[in-house]
Amino acid sequence: MNPTQALHDLGQRLWLDNITRGLLTSGTLSRYIKEFAVTGLTSNPTIFDQAIQNDGFYAAAIREKTEAGKSGEALFFELALEDLTGAADLFRPIHDATGGVDGWVSLEVSPLLADDTAGTVQTAVQLHARAQRPNLFIKIPGTRAGIPAIEEAIFAGVPVNVTLLFSSEHYRAAAEAYMRGIERRLAAGRDAKVASVASIFVSRWDVAIQDKVPQHLRNRLGIAIARRTYKVHCELLASPRWKQLSDSGAEVQRLLWASTGTKDPKAPDTLYVDALAAPNSINTMPEKTLLAFAEHGQVKGVLSPDGGDAEEILAAFVQEGVTEAELASRLQREGTAAFARSWNDLLDRIASKAGNRKSADQHNQRQAPLG
């Protein structure tokens, strides 16, 4: 059996962490759906920046929109919504067949809003309304300002993919924001069914400390963090608070493993997919990782609800001076800043392709990258 189908049969969903216009027009995404059991798709500013840089399908569309008076963020979101609504339509049969559980695509709000709760909520509501697709998640970062924005977006009925989560505590904050949003909906007499996923970034942990720990601990921190987070997730689903929400019609906010491409060339290229199989969860992976897993991946059992050996491994990292809370905060700050840089690069690239370098320069003067 194809390893991707085996993972699907176990109950974990495989999503593609990529979007380009070429993936849609060439039929490649449709093929991945049929051959590799891909049931969803995620995107972020870096992915779109690379797509517009390397995919020639965008040049004509950018010129057309520029001639129509569009520029900057407005032009980008038109491009992104065209791509993601096209992808959403490909996944719509899956979405309908699973009662809205699967078949999702994700679009991120501007990373420059990372410290702006009100702006994030306003943009999330507007983008979801513009898409007019029931299977479009709006990605909101689980930052200090993002957590209340998640609650407000859920209360407003906007499906949310919480991004840039790095630890079990980050996850808990996102899960509680989701539950508060649902509780407020119930109190207001609204439907409890608003979908959400919580995206835990895995491989960046190992990149951050790979030269600072002994060889036997290399490429083990991200998986241990994921196992600890899975334990917290299972405990939350067993709590009386969640049971009451579930009985009222709320859906589980599934865990989504993100950043699951292997960064260490000496490690197996399917390391994080092999190790993080779990029912009712999601693994979103780069195209290269998807193809590698389809070819030679292995489902090596499933995650244990009690976290397995996570605490033992994390204790070994503490002995090496690695502190989860401190490093998680740093990784979230760095991730936010990286997406902000990609966002500015993206808008600059669009302006350049439109022959409007002046507009790009003006944009960069207005919006400095987050540090």
Which sequence positions are flagged as catalytic? 139
What region does 270 belong to: left with phi over 0, alpha with psi -120 to 50, or beta? alpha
Q: CB neighbours of 296 closer than 8 A, spacing ≥ 6?
A: 3, 270
Length of the chain in terms of residues written: 371
Relative orientation angle of helices 72-97 and 117-131, to the nearest 10 degrees:
60
How much is the CA Rg of the chain, to the nearest whole Å? 20
Question: What's the distance, Cα to Cα, between the start and end of the chain in Å?
Answer: 47
Q: CB neighbours of 18 closer than 8 A, spacing ≥ 6?
A: 41, 43, 47, 51, 286, 287
With 0-12 / 13-18 / 19 or more C-beta atoms within 10 angstroms meaning exposed / middle / buried, residue 308 is: middle
Return the sign of the alpha-carbon dihedral for residues 84, 261, 345, 366: positive
Q: CB neighbours of 264 closer than 8 A, spacing ≥ 6?
A: 206, 207, 210, 218, 219
Rounded to the nearest 10°, the torsion over CA 338, 368, 80, 196 is 60
Q: How far apart are CA 92 and CA 100, in angstroms?
A: 9
